[in-house]
Structure 1
Amino acid sequence: MADEIDYEALPPNASLAVNMLAGALAGISEHAVMYPVDSIKTRMQVYTTSPVAVYSGVGNAFARISSTEGARALWRGVWSVVLGAGPAHAVHFGTLEAVKELMGGNDHADNYLATAVAGGAATTAADALMNPFDVIKQRMQIHQSQHRSVLACARSVYLKEGLGAFYVSYPTTLAISIPFNAIQFTVYEQVKRVLNPRHDYSPSTHITAGGIAGAVAAAVTTPLDVAKTLLQTKGSSEDAAIRNVRGLPDAFKLIWARDGIKGFARGISPRVLTAMPSTAICWLSYEFFKAAMRSD
């Protein structure tokens, strides 16, 4: 139909405001839909001495958490990511498009350097904003968390551990997010071009390319994500060795000492299961909102 929106035919250099608003809406959509699986991933990555909180897989975790704590426990902390995801993704996609345009990524389809640098720059800016919200989210996700609201959790962490607790994992977050976003953005762009070389209107292309990109990036960066979870939840642990972990090297040493090589794959299944649909939803939402706002 002549009046249908053609996503790929739209001008790539939309205004910064359009890209930021599209990114904010996409980020909220992404995190809200897959939040329960993300909660399971956090539970599987946390080191605990309680056998009640040790899960053999995603299905086992879902069944046990739902039956013993109620399904609402899987959504505990969701408001933290909703509040943080909008602004963080706005910054992410605004930076992404601005850097890609600056480096000529919109003019040359094979400019892999531009896409990778744009992805890295975007996540550096966005994670600075999102990291405190992510700490709060994981503190609320863990087994027997005493926190029942975002504000109460933030206040408790600040009073007991100081401002540094919200950023102790920031270097590790960047160590995850920069390669994650560079990988997923590059894979997304290349898969999208292979599946849709004519750049026709094709939401299925955004879903498929986004899902593949998310799965690849999530699997590659899981070891770093395990370390990040340890750093962000150590303040809630009664284990002295965990509470004394100061950074990424300490986290890696502890994971290796406790579990060996398999410890670095803790939570990989729910992480990939979360990343595939959430990244697909994120890119589909981003392309849709960007196209819809450009067409107004």
Structure 2
Amino acid sequence: MSDQKPLPFIYQFASGAIAGVSEILVMYPLDVVKTRMQLQVKGTGEQYSSMVDCLQKIVRNEGFSRLYRGISAPILMEAPKRAVKFAANDEWGKFYRNAFGMPKMTQSLSILTGATAGATESFVVVPFELVKIRLQDKSSKYTGMADVVKTIVRQEGPLALYNGLEATLWRHITWNSGYFGVIFQVRQLLPKATDKRGQMINDLIAGSIGGTAGTVLNTPFDVVKSRIQNTTRVPGVVPKYNWTLPSVFTVFREEGFGALYKGFMPKVLRLGPGGGILLVVFTACMDFFRGIHDGKK
């Protein structure tokens, strides 16, 4: 994330965890709306015409608490997910800089580092994402997170908890490469901060723009990931949504290009400002831990 000497992994992990939980507590209802809009297929079930329409129908028909249904899985996921995101980005950045003999980060190195960190992060989040998607679906009959895991293992086998891994790799590689790559470029363009407040504003702007860019890149993969993970696997039956790129073409062919960006508005409203919140909280925590670490020397 910067040219400063990286802190030990434990500090990066803790900072990423705190940043992730802070972001999700503020932004989670938008994630529920995004998933509902991604799962709807034209001509079947209740249709949502917009983000506001979806919010209104969920609150009116199912109650306000439904906007937080399934939050236990992402809360448990957020600490390792965001911790791995930022820690992996710093560690891979250090690795690539040493491997290529580059004293400072560059634009291309930031993109490569972000993509590799996204791939690393994917292996952590898949089971949690699958549980979250199953709980957020309007037709969900699961009683909670444990019930989802138990039912999937019993009916589809333990490996089914990793359904959608390939789509998740596509989603996270594209988002992280866009997020960290754009953050690097925006930070170069912004006026240099002279105090903590200026640094926080710069991080909020850079993180928000980075989060928006990552969302534009990865939304089609997120749409098909949601559908792949919401499909119950039946032995001997090839599911309609199975592999990522064929699923992208299926959605495009049957529902049009716009369907690949279903849920884009709540997603970008979450991950744009959410990306800013992530970066601000992560940087603040790292500065705090850097003071503790340096004070011990």
- TM-score when normalising by structure 1: 0.88
Contact 1:27/1:86, CA 8 A, preserved across alignment: yes
Paired residue for 1:60?
A: 53
Residue identity matched to 2:62: E
**Is 1:245–1:251's contact at 8 Å kept on the other side of the alignment?**
yes
The whole-number CA distance in structure 2 between the counterparts of 1:227 and 1:166 is 17
> Does the Cα contact within 8 Å between 2:39 and 2:226 map onto a contact in 1?
yes
In the alignment, what sits opposite 1:77? 70
For residues 30-88 of structure 1, the C-alpha deviation after alignment (integer angstroms, 9 at most, x for no partner) is 22221100100000010357866311111111111001100111111111011011112
SS state of the match for residue 98, structure 1? helix
Report the alpha carbon displacement of residue 170 of structure 1 after superposing the two structures with TM: 0.9
> What one-letter code is carried by the residue in structure 2 that aligns with 1:83?
L
Q: Deviations over 1:200-248 (max 9, x none)?
A: 42211111111111111101221111111110112299xxx99443212
1:20 counterpart (10, 13, 17): 13
Contact 1:43 1:53 survives alignment (8 Å): no
Q: Please give the secondary structure, in 2, of the residue aligned with 1:146.
A: coil
- Pair 1:231-2:228 in alignment: yes
Matched, 1:204 2:201: yes
1:99-129: per-residue Cα shift (whole Å, max 9, x none)? 21222398325x2232122212212121101
Partners in 2 of 1:67 and 1:74 — Cα distance?
A: 11
Q: Number of aligned pairs?
A: 285
Partner of 1:280: 276
Match status 1:252 vs 2:233: no
- State the 1:174 CA deviation: 0.9
Distance 1:17 1:194 in 2: 31
CA distance in 2, matches of 1:157, 1:163: 7
Contact 1:187 1:209 survives alignment (8 Å): yes
Check if 1:86 corresponds to 2:79.
Answer: yes
Q: What does residue range 172-211 of structure 1 map to in structure 2 within 5 Å?
A: 172-198=167-193, 200-201=195-196, 202-211=199-208
Work out which of the residue numbers 139, 154, 165 in structure 2 matches 1:159.
Answer: 154
CA 1:147–1:53: 2 relative to 1, 3 Å: same
The 2-side partners of 1:195 and 1:169 are apart by 38
Give 1:268's match in structure 2, choosing from 261, 264, 268.
264
Q: Distance in 2 between matches of 1:157 and 1:165?
A: 7
In the TM superposition, residue 166 of structure 1 has moved relative to its aligned partner by 2.2
Contact 2:220 2:260 in 1 (8 A): yes
- Asked if structure 1 preserves the Cα contact closer than 8 Å seen for 2:20 and 2:78, the reply is yes
2:103 paired residue number: 107
Which residue of the other structure, out of 95, 99, 114, is the alignment partner of 2:88? 95
Q: For residues 44 and 54 of structure 1, what CA distance do their matches in structure 2 show?
A: 8
Q: CA deviation at 1:91?
A: 2.0
Q: Which runs of 4+ in 1 moved over 6 A?
A: none
* Identity %, equivalent residues: 24
Question: Structure 1 residues 165, 54: closer, same or farther in 2, change over 3 A?
Answer: farther
Looking at structure 1, the residues matched to 68 and 256 of structure 2 have their Cα atoms a distance apart, in angstroms, of 31
Q: CA deviation at 1:267?
A: 1.3
The gaps in structure 1 that reach 5 residues or longer are 1-6
CA distance in structure 2 between the aligned counterparts of 1:51 and 1:74, rounded to whole angstroms? 22
Instruction: State the Cα distance separating 1:156 from its structure 2 match.
Output: 1.1
* CA distance, structure 2, for counterparts of residue 213 and residue 257 of structure 1: 30
* Stretch deviating more after TM superposition (222-231 or 192-201): 192-201
* TM-score when normalising by structure 2: 0.88
1:169 aligns to what? Answer: 164
- Alignment pair present for 1:136 and 2:137: no
Amino acid at match of 1:257: R
**What is the aligned partner in structure 1 of residue 122 from structure 2?**
127
Tell me, yes or no, if the aligned pair for 1:193 and 1:199 is still in contact at 8 Å: no
- Separation in 2, partners of 1:112, 1:13: 19
The runs of 5 or more residues in structure 2 that have no matched partner are 293-297
2:211 aligned residue: 214
Partner of 2:270, secondary structure, is helix
Give 1:290's aligned amino acid: M
Pairwise CA RMSD: 2.5
